[in-house]
């Protein structure tokens, strides 16, 4: 029995490593394919992992990758992160900022990352009849209302209303976005907006 258990554990470890290696390959391939100069892109990765600051950031990215599903949307987001880190000409200067942003990304679900990545598509919507604005921000839990509005505009047809609402709520609880209020075409309107922290995350995943 002991030998069988050991074999199962060993097989699980090998499969886990294979999956991890596959994810790394897919992310690097996605990053390289987006580049106009594939050789230069690969050299950027070499420079990244041979730099002490770069290696730390790369290692954190791999941690996030290992905890994420290998779907196209997630791999695309993380490939963008790899590109933005690799293309930074002064990692020492920007190290602290990028480390903090990576820590914020690590706490987000893949769904929330995908929603955040599409910030440029978030529409201006009519303010709900029961909404109360405080300091330019709609108070209360409005995630479901915002989710329904996003679906109405056809931005997230590949995500269910429930999943979209949970992702928006997650982003708001994480302090990355708020439901802003204002006037649009003479009417009270709302729009999901990034906070300063949200803008930093967006820059790294875009």
Least confident of 1-10, 47-56, 87-96, 196-205: 1-10
Where is pLDDT greater, at 33 or 155? 33
Give me the pLDDT at residue 5, please: 45
Note the pTM of the prediction, 2 decimals. 0.87
Cβ(180)–Cβ(134) below 8 Å: no
Give me the pLDDT at residue 7, please: 44
Indicate if the pLDDT at residue 13 is higher than 70: no
Cβ(109)–Cβ(167) below 8 Å: yes
Give me the pLDDT at residue 153, please: 84
35-66 confidence digits (pLDDT tens): 889 999 999 999 999 999 999 999 999 999 99
Is residue 152 very low, low, confident or very high in pLDDT (cuts 50, 70, 90)?
confident
88-143 confidence digits (pLDDT tens): 999 999 999 999 999 999 999 999 999 999 988 899 999 988 778 888 999 888 99
For residue 181, give both structure tokens.
């209020």
Where is pLDDT greater, at 7 or 199? 199
In the chain, % helix, strand, coil (3-state, to 5) comes to 65, 10, 25
């Amino acid at each position: 029995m002991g030998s069988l258990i050991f074999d199962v554990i060993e097989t699980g470890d090998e499969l886990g490593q294979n999956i991890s290696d596959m994810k790394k390959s897919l992310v690097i391939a996605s990053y390289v394919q987006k580049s106009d100069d594939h050789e230069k892109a690969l050299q950027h990765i070499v420079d990244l992992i041979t730099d002490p600051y770069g290696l730390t950031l790369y290692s954190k990215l791999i941690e996030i990758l290992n905890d994420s599903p290998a779907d196209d949307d997630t791999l695309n987001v993380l490939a963008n992160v790899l590109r933005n880190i690799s293309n930074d000409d002064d990692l020492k200067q920007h190290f602290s900022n990028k480390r903090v942003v990576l820590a914020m990304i690590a706490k987000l679900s893949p769904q929330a990352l995908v929603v955040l990545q599409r910030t440029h598509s978030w529409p201006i919507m009519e303010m709900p009849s029961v909404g109360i604005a405080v300091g330019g921000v709609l108070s209360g839990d409005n995630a479901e209302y915002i989710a329904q509005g996003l679906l109405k505009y056809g931005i997230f047809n590949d995500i269910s209303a429930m999943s979209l609402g949970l992702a928006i709520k997650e982003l708001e609880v994480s302090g990355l976005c708020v439901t802003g209020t204002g006037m649009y075409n003479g009417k009270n309107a709302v729009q999901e907006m990034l906070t300063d922290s949200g803008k930093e995350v967006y820059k790294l995943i875009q």
